[in-house]
A = this chain, B = another copy of it.
Amino acid sequence: MSPETSALPGTVRPRGRTERVRQAVTDATRTLLLEQGYRELSVERVAEVAGVAKSTVYRRWRDTAGLLLELMTELSTGEIPLVDTGSVEEDLLSLARGIAHVYTETNAGPMVLALIAESVQNERVADGLREFWHHRNDRAAESVRRAIERGDLPADTDPVEVIRMLGAPFYYRMLVTHEPLDDDLARRAAATALAAARAGDLRKR
């Protein structure tokens, strides 16, 4: 019998305990990741900091990859606000500035970078990231879909590809060239994606 179902009826609500354990483990994973980096992350340390039995963490999350994937579900809930200004230029600039903000001013930056580093050698994390960004980019693509409906962009523009092109320069600088993310970059990234869409270079295949 698992700890989640062993409580007497009425003493602990099973869902409440499950959620409390999940929250404690997620908090511990985030804390350890930010303080010591993903290389030091282990199921043992997370269980210790969370005050949860190791066996529970192993059973539910299996390994550090599972713990990192759990963290992603938190990240996926609205870190970057999406706006609808009626202008695709403004919507995309706002998105680009939101990305720069998240990575320079919040804890999400180190967490996402840790996930990306892990994904290079961990197929489960790579799959998780693929899924995560698929949904995130699809949501952000709404602004491009509206622009197409308004006739502001070619009708066969690939909305998600515009968002990919906008996002790419940020990750390139963080991961590849290790150059800073600033407002110039946000403006260039938004303008570049839009120029390519307008020129018809980002049509559906």
Measured CB to CB, the residues of A under 8 A from B are 37-39, 113-114, 116-121, 126-127, 129-130, 133-134, 137, 161, 164-165, 167-169, 171-173, 175-179, 184, 188, 191-193, 195-196, 198-199, 201-202, 205
Contacts and interface: CB of A to CB of B under 8 A. Distances in A.
Contacts of A169: 164-165, 168
Contact of A195 (B121, B127, B137, B201): B201
Given A165-B192, A169-B168, A195-B196, A121 B117 contact: yes
Given A117-B121, A119-B178, A167-B176, 11 more contacts: A117-B117, A117-B120, A119-B175, A129-B177, A134-B177, A168-B169, A168-B171, A188-B202, A191-B199, A192-B201, A198-B199
Q: Per DSSP, are chain A's interface residues mostly helix, strand or loop, or mixed? A: helix
A38 B116 CA distance: 15
B178 A167 contact: no
A7 to B, nearest CB: 40
B188 A192 contact: no
Contact of A172 (B114, B120, B171, B177): B171
B177 A164 contact: yes
Given A119-B175, A133-B177, A176-B129, A192 B196 contact: yes
B113 A179 contact: no
Contacts of A37: 121
B202 A196 contact: no
